[in-house]
Structure 1
Amino acid sequence: MPAPHNPFKQALKDGETVFGCWLALADPYSAELMGTAGFDWLVIDGEHSPNDLRSILAQLQVLEASSSHPVVRVPIGETYLIKQILDAGSQTVLVPMVDTADHARQLVRDVTYPPHGDRGVGYAISRAARFSQIADYGLTANEQICLLVQVENRKGLENLDDILAVDGIDGVFIGPADLAADMGHMGNAAHPDVLAAITGAIAKIDATGKAAGILSTDDEMTQAAIQAGARFVAVGADILMLSHAAQSLATKWKNTLK
């Protein structure tokens, strides 16, 4: 029996545009709810949310019953973290702050079994191989793992051509917030210079045949990114949706007493 098919990776290969959302609440119950909303993919965020391996595992488990593909963002591109996330059952990994081709090449090795990579061969006891029930997992897993790297500073943009030339990278995600800050426009990803850098990078990524991605809660930026060639597009975050809706409801009723 081979490793499970990765529909997200296949969609990117087929040139489809898929819409996603960030999971920042770090809770399996809310993750399960988000899995019923109809998004194509959901990011379990390990960088800016209070997630650890066990909470990520719990969210992977509840999302297995949904049609939304789980993408795990690790806090940093460290080999040992990526090994754990893959063995926990994630087939798609998003790595932040990748700004050199050497880093990208190591990440490819991190998600690849020997002799071409460094992923530890312990799948017999892993959830990824259904606890040894997928006998051919080691021989077939590489083809179903999807590696996404985040380019989100000026150094990364300067090295984008070299990063794109690395074989084994499935997609490159442009991080608007960090890029804006690095360009001197903290909190203003819609600044014309930042927007031009984002759309230019997306067009370059798309031209190579790799998938370009972005997270944007601004409709104009989202549309500009899609027009430039973005194909995995996150359009919101659970914590922002809850926070904004709660604030709006509280303000609505408080204002009735004025």
Structure 2
Amino acid sequence: MPTLATRLRGDEVVITGWSGIPDALTVEVMAAQAYDAITLDMQHGGHHEDSVVRSIPAIRQAERHAVVRVPVGRWDMASRALDFGAEAVIAPMVNSVADAQSFAAATNYPPLGQRSWGPTFALPRLRMTAASYLPEANAETVSFAMIETRAALESLDGILATPGIDAVFVGPSDFSIAWTDGAKLDPTLEDMMAAVGDVAARARAAGKFAGIYIMEPSMMGRFVQMGFRFFALGNEQNLMKLGAEALLKAAKSSI
């Protein structure tokens, strides 16, 4: 199947499911759904190194793209996620050019970065050899820097200009907290939408990709028009809630 990077370069809309339950069997069920990718969340979700290394095969088996969101500042885990077979890494709270440089160094091989060689798990999972993986890795893995704060917004042009940063990913919940100086949590806040759209526009102008977490599905079309192409939609709790509500409503309405 084409890589995630190839699909994004082709301007495709890519939707990822969001997994926070650190269990490979649950991830397998998620990957069986009609998502394009599955993101394993180590920041706010329960995923850890062991669950990530064991969950990626289920994602690959379902022919989905494996993405990992690492904890804040865990550049070492960014490298490990790629060594485990992830195609992309999302790094939260990239608030400065220095943060972006550290992240890019961890996710790219020399001369672009400082990633150490050792994709022991990745090679068989990606069905590649060392000879084919090395020359393609920097171009075919995607490093998403999360834009969630006013500091990140102020540093956006420098972050986008950082070699090895392929994309930005807006976290609208934290962005809304920052935008209102801590007064409100509202990922659909209308007052910040111009700034959110500006992030996508500036990313595309810099030749980079833009992603965002979707809290309200009906807003996805609007975000596509802004220039976003990578979307996170629905975690396990949300999917279970919606599924249970639909089943119970249908059953009870028949009585």
Place the TM-score, normalised by the shorter chain, in its bin.
0.7 to 0.9
Which deviates more, 112-121 or 47-56?
112-121
Q: Tell me whether 1:134 sits opposite 2:129 in the alignment.
A: yes
Contact 1:199–1:224 under 8 Å retained in 2: no
- Paired amino acid for 1:100: S
Give the match for residue 108 of structure 1: 104
Aligned CA RMSD, in angstroms, stands at: 2.6
Structure 1 residue 254 displacement after superposition: 8.6
Aligned equivalents of 1:255, 1:10: Cα separation in 2 = 46
Aligned equivalents of 1:115, 1:163: Cα separation in 2 = 19
Structure 1 residue 153 displacement after superposition: 0.8
Q: Which runs of 5+ in 1 are unaligned?
A: none
Structure 1 residue 255 displacement after superposition: 10
Structure 1 residue 70 displacement after superposition: 1.0
TM-score (norm. length: structure 1):
0.87
Classify 1:210/1:53 alpha carbon distance in 2 versus 1 (closer, same or farther; 3 Å): same
- Paired amino acid for 2:124: R
Give the match for residue 228 of structure 1: 226
Classify 1:116/1:253 alpha carbon distance in 2 versus 1 (closer, same or farther; 3 Å): closer
Aligned equivalents of 2:253, 2:232: Cα separation in 1 = 33
> What percentage of aligned pairs have identical amino acids?
30
Aligned equivalents of 1:242, 1:156: Cα separation in 2 = 34
Aligned equivalents of 2:49, 2:245: Cα separation in 1 = 31
Deviations 1:140-184 (A, max 9, x none): 433322111111111111111111111221111111000011122
Give the match for residue 78 of structure 1: 74
SS of 1:225's partner is helix
Q: Tell me whether 1:94 sits opposite 2:86 in the alignment.
A: no
Q: Tell me whether 1:15 sits opposite 2:11 in the alignment.
A: yes
For these two proteins, the number of residue pairs brought into alignment is: 251
Contact 2:65–2:87 under 8 Å retained in 1: no
SS of 2:237's partner is helix
SS of 1:129's partner is helix
Structure 1 residue 202 displacement after superposition: 1.6
TM-score (norm. length: structure 2):
0.88
Aligned equivalents of 2:118, 2:14: Cα separation in 1 = 32
